[in-house]
Amino acid sequence: MKQYSLFFGGARVDTAAYADVRNPSTGEVVGQMPLATPADLDRAVAAASSAFQTWSRVPEEERQAACRAIAEKIAANGEELAQLLTLEQGKPLNGLGSRFEIGGALAWTRHTAELNLPIEILQDDNEGRVELHRKPIGVVGSITPWNWPVMIACWHIVPAVRAGNTVVIKPSPLTPLSTIRLVEIMNEVLPPGVVNVITGENSIGAALSSHDGIAKMTFTGSTETGKKVMASAVATLKRLTLELGGNDAGIVLPDADPAQIAEGLFWGAFINNGQTCAALKRLYVHDSIYESVCKALAEYAARVPVGDGLDEASILGPIQNEMQFNKVRELVDDARANGGRILVGGAPMDRPGYFYPITLVADVDHGVRLVDEEQFGPALPIIRYTDIDEVIARANTNPAGLGGSVWSADAGKARHYAMQLECGSVWINKHGAIQPNAPFGGVKQSGIGVEFGAEGLKEFTTIQTVLS
Protein backbone atom coordinates (compact mmCIF):
# COMPACT_ATOMS: atom_id res chain seq x y z
CA MET A 1 0.00 0.00 0.00
CA LYS A 2 1.46 3.34 -1.07
CA GLN A 3 2.30 5.78 1.69
CA TYR A 4 2.04 9.37 0.47
CA SER A 5 4.26 12.16 1.79
CA LEU A 6 3.81 15.74 2.85
CA PHE A 7 5.34 18.18 0.40
CA PHE A 8 6.83 21.47 1.47
CA GLY A 9 9.90 23.51 0.68
CA GLY A 10 10.14 21.72 -2.66
CA ALA A 11 10.64 18.25 -1.15
CA ARG A 12 8.68 15.22 0.02
CA VAL A 13 8.57 14.90 3.79
CA ASP A 14 7.75 11.62 5.51
CA THR A 15 5.92 11.39 8.83
CA ALA A 16 5.93 9.03 11.78
CA ALA A 17 2.25 8.16 11.45
CA TYR A 18 -0.21 7.54 8.62
CA ALA A 19 -3.95 6.98 8.20
CA ASP A 20 -5.79 4.84 5.70
CA VAL A 21 -7.75 6.44 2.87
CA ARG A 22 -10.62 4.25 1.66
CA ASN A 23 -12.61 3.92 -1.53
CA PRO A 24 -16.25 4.74 -0.70
CA SER A 25 -17.44 2.33 -3.40
CA THR A 26 -15.80 -0.71 -1.81
CA GLY A 27 -14.29 0.22 1.55
CA GLU A 28 -10.87 -0.86 0.32
CA VAL A 29 -7.76 1.06 1.36
CA VAL A 30 -6.37 2.97 -1.65
CA GLY A 31 -3.45 4.72 0.02
CA GLN A 32 -2.16 6.11 3.27
CA MET A 33 -2.24 9.78 4.24
CA PRO A 34 0.69 11.25 6.18
CA LEU A 35 -0.31 12.70 9.54
CA ALA A 36 1.41 16.03 9.97
CA THR A 37 2.44 17.32 13.38
CA PRO A 38 2.35 20.95 14.53
CA ALA A 39 6.11 21.00 13.95
CA ASP A 40 5.56 19.92 10.34
CA LEU A 41 3.06 22.76 9.94
CA ASP A 42 5.57 25.25 11.31
CA ARG A 43 8.16 24.05 8.82
CA ALA A 44 5.71 24.28 5.92
CA VAL A 45 4.71 27.82 6.85
CA ALA A 46 8.37 28.77 7.23
CA ALA A 47 9.11 27.39 3.76
CA ALA A 48 6.20 29.36 2.30
CA SER A 49 7.27 32.53 4.14
CA SER A 50 10.81 32.23 2.80
CA ALA A 51 9.56 31.63 -0.74
CA PHE A 52 7.25 34.65 -0.52
CA GLN A 53 10.20 37.00 -0.15
CA THR A 54 11.26 36.10 -3.68
CA TRP A 55 8.01 35.05 -5.36
CA SER A 56 6.21 38.28 -4.46
CA ARG A 57 8.82 40.21 -6.43
CA VAL A 58 8.75 38.02 -9.54
CA PRO A 59 7.52 39.99 -12.58
CA GLU A 60 3.88 39.55 -13.59
CA GLU A 61 4.81 37.90 -16.86
CA GLU A 62 6.83 35.21 -15.08
CA ARG A 63 3.98 34.45 -12.68
CA GLN A 64 1.61 34.16 -15.64
CA ALA A 65 4.02 31.80 -17.35
CA ALA A 66 4.25 29.69 -14.18
CA CYS A 67 0.47 29.36 -14.01
CA ARG A 68 0.38 28.36 -17.68
CA ALA A 69 3.01 25.73 -16.89
CA ILE A 70 0.84 24.44 -14.02
CA ALA A 71 -2.01 24.05 -16.51
CA GLU A 72 0.17 22.02 -18.85
CA LYS A 73 1.22 19.77 -15.97
CA ILE A 74 -2.43 19.16 -15.07
CA ALA A 75 -3.21 18.33 -18.69
CA ALA A 76 -0.26 15.95 -18.97
CA ASN A 77 -1.18 14.13 -15.75
CA GLY A 78 -4.96 14.37 -16.14
CA GLU A 79 -5.80 10.68 -16.37
CA GLU A 80 -3.60 9.79 -13.40
CA LEU A 81 -5.28 12.50 -11.31
CA ALA A 82 -8.74 11.37 -12.43
CA GLN A 83 -8.08 7.74 -11.50
CA LEU A 84 -6.73 8.71 -8.08
CA LEU A 85 -9.65 11.07 -7.53
CA THR A 86 -12.18 8.34 -8.28
CA LEU A 87 -10.44 5.90 -5.95
CA GLU A 88 -10.63 8.21 -2.93
CA GLN A 89 -13.74 10.32 -3.68
CA GLY A 90 -15.91 7.70 -5.38
CA LYS A 91 -17.23 9.80 -8.25
CA PRO A 92 -17.27 8.07 -11.63
CA LEU A 93 -14.57 8.62 -14.18
CA ASN A 94 -17.22 9.55 -16.73
CA GLY A 95 -20.26 11.81 -16.84
CA LEU A 96 -19.80 14.85 -14.62
CA GLY A 97 -17.24 12.92 -12.63
CA SER A 98 -13.47 12.79 -12.22
CA ARG A 99 -12.43 13.49 -15.80
CA PHE A 100 -14.91 16.37 -15.82
CA GLU A 101 -13.39 17.69 -12.58
CA ILE A 102 -9.85 17.55 -13.93
CA GLY A 103 -11.07 19.34 -17.04
CA GLY A 104 -12.58 22.02 -14.82
CA ALA A 105 -9.35 22.39 -12.85
CA LEU A 106 -7.51 22.83 -16.14
CA ALA A 107 -9.99 25.40 -17.49
CA TRP A 108 -9.89 27.50 -14.31
CA THR A 109 -6.10 27.38 -14.19
CA ARG A 110 -5.76 28.50 -17.80
CA HIS A 111 -8.26 31.32 -17.35
CA THR A 112 -6.66 32.55 -14.14
CA ALA A 113 -3.20 32.53 -15.73
CA GLU A 114 -4.33 35.19 -18.20
CA LEU A 115 -5.86 37.57 -15.65
CA ASN A 116 -4.26 40.93 -14.96
CA LEU A 117 -4.71 43.57 -12.28
CA PRO A 118 -3.23 46.71 -13.82
CA ILE A 119 -2.43 49.84 -11.85
CA GLU A 120 -5.56 51.99 -11.60
CA ILE A 121 -5.14 55.72 -12.07
CA LEU A 122 -7.64 57.39 -9.75
CA GLN A 123 -6.44 60.93 -10.39
CA ASP A 124 -3.95 62.58 -12.71
CA ASP A 125 -4.29 66.36 -12.94
CA ASN A 126 -2.70 69.58 -11.82
CA GLU A 127 -3.46 68.76 -8.21
CA GLY A 128 -1.59 65.44 -8.23
CA ARG A 129 -1.61 61.83 -9.25
CA VAL A 130 -3.22 58.96 -7.33
CA GLU A 131 -2.49 55.35 -8.22
CA LEU A 132 -4.04 52.18 -6.81
CA HIS A 133 -1.66 49.23 -6.73
CA ARG A 134 -2.54 45.66 -5.80
CA LYS A 135 0.11 43.74 -3.90
CA PRO A 136 0.32 40.10 -2.71
CA ILE A 137 -0.70 39.44 0.88
CA GLY A 138 1.78 36.81 2.07
CA VAL A 139 1.31 33.15 2.94
CA VAL A 140 -2.18 31.90 2.13
CA GLY A 141 -3.64 29.03 4.13
CA SER A 142 -6.09 26.86 2.19
CA ILE A 143 -8.52 24.26 3.53
CA THR A 144 -10.44 22.28 0.92
CA PRO A 145 -13.38 19.85 1.14
CA TRP A 146 -13.89 16.29 -0.07
CA ASN A 147 -16.49 16.86 -2.80
CA TRP A 148 -14.38 18.49 -5.58
CA PRO A 149 -10.88 18.21 -4.07
CA VAL A 150 -8.73 18.82 -7.16
CA MET A 151 -10.80 21.56 -8.75
CA ILE A 152 -11.28 23.49 -5.51
CA ALA A 153 -7.56 23.16 -4.76
CA CYS A 154 -6.90 24.90 -8.07
CA TRP A 155 -9.51 27.56 -7.23
CA HIS A 156 -7.52 28.31 -4.07
CA ILE A 157 -3.94 27.85 -5.22
CA VAL A 158 -3.77 29.31 -8.71
CA PRO A 159 -5.13 32.82 -8.07
CA ALA A 160 -3.03 33.02 -4.90
CA VAL A 161 0.13 32.13 -6.84
CA ARG A 162 -0.83 34.33 -9.79
CA ALA A 163 -1.14 37.31 -7.42
CA GLY A 164 2.32 36.66 -5.93
CA ASN A 165 1.43 34.80 -2.74
CA THR A 166 2.66 31.45 -1.50
CA VAL A 167 0.37 28.67 -0.24
CA VAL A 168 0.06 26.00 2.41
CA ILE A 169 -2.92 23.80 1.54
CA LYS A 170 -4.61 21.30 3.83
CA PRO A 171 -7.08 18.98 2.01
CA SER A 172 -9.87 16.99 3.61
CA PRO A 173 -8.59 13.86 5.38
CA LEU A 174 -11.17 11.93 3.35
CA THR A 175 -9.64 12.88 -0.03
CA PRO A 176 -6.03 13.97 0.49
CA LEU A 177 -4.19 11.85 -2.07
CA SER A 178 -5.15 13.64 -5.28
CA THR A 179 -4.23 16.99 -3.72
CA ILE A 180 -0.84 15.69 -2.65
CA ARG A 181 -0.20 14.51 -6.19
CA LEU A 182 -1.46 17.83 -7.61
CA VAL A 183 0.99 19.76 -5.44
CA GLU A 184 3.82 17.43 -6.45
CA ILE A 185 3.29 18.12 -10.15
CA MET A 186 2.90 21.86 -9.53
CA ASN A 187 6.30 21.82 -7.86
CA GLU A 188 7.83 20.52 -11.06
CA VAL A 189 7.37 24.02 -12.50
CA LEU A 190 7.34 26.27 -9.40
CA PRO A 191 10.18 27.42 -7.14
CA PRO A 192 10.48 25.49 -3.85
CA GLY A 193 8.08 26.65 -1.14
CA VAL A 194 5.59 28.47 -3.38
CA VAL A 195 2.98 25.69 -2.97
CA ASN A 196 3.10 23.29 -0.02
CA VAL A 197 0.72 20.60 1.23
CA ILE A 198 0.04 19.45 4.79
CA THR A 199 -2.34 16.59 5.54
CA GLY A 200 -3.88 15.15 8.67
CA GLU A 201 -7.01 15.15 10.73
CA ASN A 202 -9.13 18.26 11.29
CA SER A 203 -6.94 19.43 14.17
CA ILE A 204 -4.12 20.31 11.77
CA GLY A 205 -6.58 22.47 9.82
CA ALA A 206 -7.47 24.33 12.99
CA ALA A 207 -3.77 24.89 13.67
CA LEU A 208 -3.32 26.21 10.13
CA SER A 209 -6.17 28.71 10.39
CA SER A 210 -4.83 30.09 13.68
CA HIS A 211 -1.14 30.10 12.72
CA ASP A 212 0.45 33.51 13.07
CA GLY A 213 2.50 32.95 9.91
CA ILE A 214 -0.62 32.78 7.75
CA ALA A 215 -1.78 36.13 6.36
CA LYS A 216 -4.98 34.96 4.66
CA MET A 217 -7.26 31.93 4.89
CA THR A 218 -9.36 30.64 2.06
CA PHE A 219 -11.83 27.92 3.04
CA THR A 220 -14.51 25.94 1.24
CA GLY A 221 -16.79 23.81 3.37
CA SER A 222 -19.64 23.85 5.85
CA THR A 223 -20.98 27.01 7.44
CA GLU A 224 -20.26 25.75 10.95
CA THR A 225 -16.61 25.02 10.17
CA GLY A 226 -16.36 28.33 8.33
CA LYS A 227 -17.42 30.12 11.50
CA LYS A 228 -14.58 28.38 13.35
CA VAL A 229 -12.08 29.44 10.69
CA MET A 230 -13.35 33.00 10.97
CA ALA A 231 -13.06 32.94 14.76
CA SER A 232 -9.50 31.63 14.61
CA ALA A 233 -8.52 34.48 12.27
CA VAL A 234 -9.40 37.15 14.82
CA ALA A 235 -6.14 37.20 16.78
CA THR A 236 -4.04 38.07 13.73
CA LEU A 237 -6.78 39.78 11.66
CA LYS A 238 -6.27 37.37 8.78
CA ARG A 239 -8.00 38.19 5.54
CA LEU A 240 -10.68 35.66 4.63
CA THR A 241 -12.45 34.12 1.68
CA LEU A 242 -15.13 31.70 2.88
CA GLU A 243 -17.30 29.72 0.44
CA LEU A 244 -19.75 27.96 2.72
CA GLY A 245 -22.81 25.74 2.62
CA GLY A 246 -25.89 26.38 0.56
CA ASN A 247 -29.53 25.33 0.48
CA ASP A 248 -30.27 26.55 -3.03
CA ALA A 249 -33.86 27.07 -4.09
CA GLY A 250 -35.10 26.41 -7.61
CA ILE A 251 -38.50 27.86 -8.52
CA VAL A 252 -40.47 26.49 -11.47
CA LEU A 253 -43.03 28.92 -12.88
CA PRO A 254 -46.36 27.62 -14.25
CA ASP A 255 -45.44 28.27 -17.90
CA ALA A 256 -42.41 25.94 -17.82
CA ASP A 257 -42.47 22.74 -19.91
CA PRO A 258 -41.83 19.79 -17.53
CA ALA A 259 -40.39 17.56 -20.25
CA GLN A 260 -38.07 20.29 -21.45
CA ILE A 261 -36.65 21.22 -18.04
CA ALA A 262 -36.40 17.78 -16.43
CA GLU A 263 -32.81 17.10 -17.48
CA GLY A 264 -31.61 20.54 -16.35
CA LEU A 265 -33.40 20.21 -13.02
CA PHE A 266 -31.94 16.76 -12.48
CA TRP A 267 -28.32 17.73 -13.05
CA GLY A 268 -28.77 21.00 -11.20
CA ALA A 269 -29.69 18.90 -8.17
CA PHE A 270 -27.62 15.76 -8.62
CA ILE A 271 -24.30 16.80 -10.14
CA ASN A 272 -21.63 15.00 -8.09
CA ASN A 273 -24.45 13.00 -6.50
CA GLY A 274 -25.83 16.17 -4.90
CA GLN A 275 -22.53 16.71 -3.05
CA THR A 276 -22.06 20.26 -4.29
CA CYS A 277 -22.44 23.51 -2.34
CA ALA A 278 -24.35 25.22 -5.14
CA ALA A 279 -26.53 22.26 -6.14
CA LEU A 280 -30.28 22.70 -6.33
CA LYS A 281 -31.45 21.52 -2.92
CA ARG A 282 -35.07 22.74 -2.65
CA LEU A 283 -37.35 22.55 -5.69
CA TYR A 284 -40.53 24.66 -5.63
CA VAL A 285 -43.02 23.79 -8.38
CA HIS A 286 -46.29 25.55 -9.21
CA ASP A 287 -49.38 23.51 -8.40
CA SER A 288 -50.61 23.52 -12.01
CA ILE A 289 -47.61 21.50 -13.27
CA TYR A 290 -46.48 19.89 -10.01
CA GLU A 291 -47.35 16.27 -10.84
CA SER A 292 -46.01 16.61 -14.39
CA VAL A 293 -42.64 17.84 -13.14
CA CYS A 294 -42.51 15.05 -10.53
CA LYS A 295 -43.23 12.47 -13.23
CA ALA A 296 -40.66 13.86 -15.69
CA LEU A 297 -37.94 13.98 -13.02
CA ALA A 298 -38.69 10.44 -11.83
CA GLU A 299 -38.53 9.12 -15.39
CA TYR A 300 -35.21 10.84 -16.04
CA ALA A 301 -33.73 9.62 -12.74
CA ALA A 302 -34.58 6.03 -13.61
CA ARG A 303 -32.29 6.19 -16.67
CA VAL A 304 -29.12 7.32 -14.83
CA PRO A 305 -26.78 4.41 -13.97
CA VAL A 306 -25.30 4.40 -10.46
CA GLY A 307 -22.27 2.25 -9.69
CA ASP A 308 -18.58 1.92 -8.85
CA GLY A 309 -16.72 4.96 -10.09
CA LEU A 310 -14.10 2.84 -11.89
CA ASP A 311 -16.81 1.25 -14.03
CA GLU A 312 -16.80 3.24 -17.28
CA ALA A 313 -20.59 2.78 -17.52
CA SER A 314 -21.31 4.55 -14.21
CA ILE A 315 -22.64 8.10 -14.32
CA LEU A 316 -23.19 8.57 -10.58
CA GLY A 317 -21.35 6.90 -7.72
CA PRO A 318 -21.60 6.53 -3.94
CA ILE A 319 -21.89 9.12 -1.23
CA GLN A 320 -18.32 9.89 -0.23
CA ASN A 321 -18.35 9.00 3.46
CA GLU A 322 -20.32 7.30 6.20
CA MET A 323 -21.28 10.47 8.05
CA GLN A 324 -22.85 12.02 4.95
CA PHE A 325 -24.48 8.70 4.01
CA ASN A 326 -26.15 8.51 7.42
CA LYS A 327 -27.31 12.12 7.22
CA VAL A 328 -28.99 11.59 3.86
CA ARG A 329 -30.68 8.45 5.15
CA GLU A 330 -31.90 10.27 8.28
CA LEU A 331 -33.29 13.21 6.32
CA VAL A 332 -35.16 10.97 3.87
CA ASP A 333 -36.55 8.81 6.69
CA ASP A 334 -37.69 11.96 8.52
CA ALA A 335 -39.37 13.29 5.37
CA ARG A 336 -41.19 9.99 4.87
CA ALA A 337 -42.34 10.00 8.49
CA ASN A 338 -43.70 13.52 7.98
CA GLY A 339 -45.83 12.67 4.97
CA GLY A 340 -43.26 12.81 2.19
CA ARG A 341 -44.14 10.78 -0.91
CA ILE A 342 -41.12 8.86 -2.23
CA LEU A 343 -41.17 9.01 -6.03
CA VAL A 344 -37.92 7.09 -6.55
CA GLY A 345 -35.24 5.76 -4.23
CA GLY A 346 -35.75 6.21 -0.50
CA ALA A 347 -33.51 3.49 0.97
CA PRO A 348 -29.83 2.47 0.82
CA MET A 349 -28.82 0.24 -2.08
CA ASP A 350 -28.15 -3.40 -1.23
CA ARG A 351 -24.45 -3.50 -2.06
CA PRO A 352 -21.09 -2.69 -0.43
CA GLY A 353 -20.09 0.94 -0.17
CA TYR A 354 -22.00 4.11 0.64
CA PHE A 355 -24.51 3.77 -2.17
CA TYR A 356 -27.79 5.64 -1.82
CA PRO A 357 -30.02 5.93 -4.88
CA ILE A 358 -31.31 9.13 -6.42
CA THR A 359 -34.28 9.99 -4.21
CA LEU A 360 -37.12 12.36 -5.05
CA VAL A 361 -39.48 13.28 -2.22
CA ALA A 362 -42.79 14.99 -3.06
CA ASP A 363 -45.44 16.56 -0.81
CA VAL A 364 -43.06 18.03 1.77
CA ASP A 365 -42.85 21.60 3.02
CA HIS A 366 -40.94 23.91 5.33
CA GLY A 367 -40.55 22.42 8.79
CA VAL A 368 -39.34 19.10 7.38
CA ARG A 369 -35.59 18.61 7.84
CA LEU A 370 -35.00 17.67 4.20
CA VAL A 371 -36.28 21.12 3.21
CA ASP A 372 -34.79 23.19 6.02
CA GLU A 373 -31.31 21.59 6.17
CA GLU A 374 -28.63 21.13 3.53
CA GLN A 375 -28.75 17.44 2.58
CA PHE A 376 -25.53 17.44 0.48
CA GLY A 377 -26.45 14.17 -1.16
CA PRO A 378 -28.76 12.45 -3.66
CA ALA A 379 -32.14 13.45 -2.18
CA LEU A 380 -34.33 16.30 -3.44
CA PRO A 381 -37.50 17.66 -1.77
CA ILE A 382 -40.19 18.90 -4.19
CA ILE A 383 -42.45 21.56 -2.69
CA ARG A 384 -45.81 22.62 -4.10
CA TYR A 385 -46.75 26.33 -4.29
CA THR A 386 -49.50 28.50 -5.76
CA ASP A 387 -48.41 32.13 -5.24
CA ILE A 388 -45.07 33.21 -6.73
CA ASP A 389 -44.49 36.20 -4.44
CA GLU A 390 -45.19 34.09 -1.39
CA VAL A 391 -42.85 31.29 -2.48
CA ILE A 392 -39.98 33.70 -3.12
CA ALA A 393 -40.44 35.14 0.35
CA ARG A 394 -40.46 31.63 1.81
CA ALA A 395 -37.40 30.57 -0.17
CA ASN A 396 -35.55 33.59 1.19
CA THR A 397 -36.24 32.67 4.83
CA ASN A 398 -33.41 30.12 4.79
CA PRO A 399 -30.17 31.42 6.38
CA ALA A 400 -28.12 30.16 3.42
CA GLY A 401 -27.67 32.31 0.33
CA LEU A 402 -25.30 30.68 -2.14
CA GLY A 403 -27.29 30.08 -5.34
CA GLY A 404 -30.80 29.97 -6.74
CA SER A 405 -32.64 29.53 -10.02
CA VAL A 406 -35.93 30.29 -11.78
CA TRP A 407 -37.34 28.13 -14.57
CA SER A 408 -39.78 29.52 -17.14
CA ALA A 409 -40.63 29.69 -20.84
CA ASP A 410 -40.36 33.47 -20.48
CA ALA A 411 -36.74 34.39 -19.74
CA GLY A 412 -37.66 38.00 -18.94
CA LYS A 413 -40.20 36.95 -16.36
CA ALA A 414 -37.74 34.46 -14.89
CA ARG A 415 -35.08 37.17 -14.61
CA HIS A 416 -37.56 39.46 -12.81
CA TYR A 417 -38.21 36.88 -10.12
CA ALA A 418 -34.60 35.65 -10.01
CA MET A 419 -33.41 39.09 -8.98
CA GLN A 420 -35.61 38.81 -5.88
CA LEU A 421 -33.81 35.73 -4.58
CA GLU A 422 -31.29 36.41 -1.79
CA CYS A 423 -28.24 34.57 -3.09
CA GLY A 424 -24.82 35.26 -4.52
CA SER A 425 -25.46 33.60 -7.91
CA VAL A 426 -28.74 33.09 -9.71
CA TRP A 427 -29.44 31.14 -12.88
CA ILE A 428 -32.21 31.23 -15.47
CA ASN A 429 -33.38 27.81 -16.71
CA LYS A 430 -30.26 26.12 -15.33
CA HIS A 431 -28.64 25.71 -11.93
CA GLY A 432 -25.08 25.61 -10.63
CA ALA A 433 -23.43 26.43 -13.95
CA ILE A 434 -20.37 28.21 -12.60
CA GLN A 435 -17.67 29.52 -14.94
CA PRO A 436 -14.16 30.93 -14.44
CA ASN A 437 -14.98 34.48 -15.57
CA ALA A 438 -18.06 34.91 -13.37
CA PRO A 439 -17.52 35.86 -9.70
CA PHE A 440 -18.95 33.24 -7.34
CA GLY A 441 -19.67 33.57 -3.63
CA GLY A 442 -22.43 33.57 -1.06
CA VAL A 443 -24.46 36.03 0.95
CA LYS A 444 -25.99 35.62 4.42
CA GLN A 445 -24.43 32.50 6.02
CA SER A 446 -23.06 31.11 2.75
CA GLY A 447 -19.79 32.96 2.92
CA ILE A 448 -17.61 36.02 2.68
CA GLY A 449 -15.86 37.23 -0.46
CA VAL A 450 -15.90 35.81 -3.98
CA GLU A 451 -13.89 33.48 -6.16
CA PHE A 452 -13.17 33.46 -9.93
CA GLY A 453 -12.30 36.11 -12.45
CA ALA A 454 -10.67 39.44 -11.71
CA GLU A 455 -12.85 39.93 -8.62
CA GLY A 456 -11.67 36.62 -7.21
CA LEU A 457 -8.04 37.43 -7.97
CA LYS A 458 -8.38 40.70 -6.06
CA GLU A 459 -9.21 38.68 -2.95
CA PHE A 460 -5.57 37.58 -2.87
CA THR A 461 -4.22 41.13 -2.83
CA THR A 462 -4.01 44.17 -0.62
CA ILE A 463 -4.39 47.73 -1.87
CA GLN A 464 -1.56 50.24 -1.69
CA THR A 465 -2.46 53.79 -2.69
CA VAL A 466 0.38 55.89 -4.09
CA LEU A 467 -0.12 59.66 -4.01
CA SER A 468 2.28 62.07 -5.70
Q: Which residues are catalytic?
A: 243, 277
Contact 442, 288 (CB under 8 A): no
Which helix (H) or strand (E) segment is 463 a member of? strand 461-467
Q: How many residues does the chain have?
A: 468
The DSSP line for 79-117 is: HHHHHHHHHHH---SSSSSHHHHHHHHHHHHHHHHT---
> What type of residue sits at position 4?
Y
The answer to whether the beta carbons of residues 428 and 415 sit under 8 Å apart is: yes
- Three-state secondary-structure class, residue 28: coil
Give CA–CA dist 88/25, Å, rounded. 9
Q: Which helix (H) or strand (E) holds 122?
A: strand 120-125
Enumerate residues 6+ apart whose C-beta is below 8 A from 110: 68, 71
Rounded to an integer, what distance in angstroms lies between the CA atom of residue 353 and that of residue 360? Answer: 21
Report d(CA 145, CA 428) in Å as an integer: 28
Distance CA 117, CA 149 (A): 27
Phi, psi of 419 (to 5 degrees): -65, -15
**CA–CA dist 26, 88 (Å, integer):** 10
How far is 214 from 196, CA to CA, in rounded Å?
A: 13
The residues, any chain, with a CB within 8 Å of residue 389's CB and separated by 6 or more, are: none
What Å distances lie between residue 172 and 89, 204, 276, CA to CA?
11, 11, 15
DSSP summary character for residue 287: G
Strand 128-136 with 447-448, pairing = unpaired
Side chain identity at 136, as an amino acid letter? P
Nearest Cα residue to 283 out of 330, 248, 328:
248
- According to DSSP H, which parts of 26-171 are helical? 38-55, 60-76, 78-89, 98-113, 149-162
d(CA 206, CA 47): 19
Instruction: Find all residues with CB under 8 Å of 115, minimum gap 6, and list them.
Output: 159, 162, 453, 454, 457
